[in-house]
């Protein structure tokens, strides 16, 4: 069972993703509401996959992505963005994020993205 870490400042988004992953037989190893907590949890839980919001307080998603990848260059990170954050998404992909999903989430698109990344990395 693949382990997932969810990093998003919105509790609603964390719960939405958590429910979606659990329904699809993924294990949630942690949830964080900012990049600092997220990086810390990544180091403690070694998840197979991370969903990472771009816009967050304390440490944003791009900075958290850099820290996670410097700790683990093989990390599977999917960025979560709102519509209109194209520039930030492109920057995240260039930094090493594997893909992105757009809010509001389309359940099928999220799971297709996740399965593609998980199966590519195994």
CATH of the domain at 54: 3.40.50.2300
Q: What are the pLDDT digits (tens) for 61-115?
A: 999 999 999 999 999 999 998 877 789 999 999 999 999 998 888 899 999 999 9
Count of structural domains within the chain: 1
Contacts of 18 (CB under 8 A, 6+ apart): 6, 28, 31
Global pTM reads 0.93
Full domain range(s) for residue 63 = 3-121
pLDDT value, residue 6: 98
Closest by CA position to 53, among listed 74, 72, 31? 31
Three-state SS for 13? helix
């Amino acid at each position: 069972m693949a382990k997932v870490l969810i990093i998003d400042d919105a509790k609603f988004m964390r719960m939405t993703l958590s429910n979606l992953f659990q329904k699809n037989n993924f294990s949630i190893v942690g949830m964080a509401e900012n990049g600092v907590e997220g990086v810390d949890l990544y180091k403690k839980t070694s998840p197979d996959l991370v969903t990472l919001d771009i816009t967050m307080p304390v440490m944003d998603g791009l900075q958290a992505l850099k820290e996670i990848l410097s700790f683990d260059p093989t990390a599977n990170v999917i960025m979560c963005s709102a519509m209109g954050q194209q520039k930030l998404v492109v920057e995240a992909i260039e930094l090493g994020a594997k893909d992105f999903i757009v809010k509001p989430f389309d359940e099928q698109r999220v799971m297709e993205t996740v399965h593609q990344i998980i199966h590519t990395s195994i």
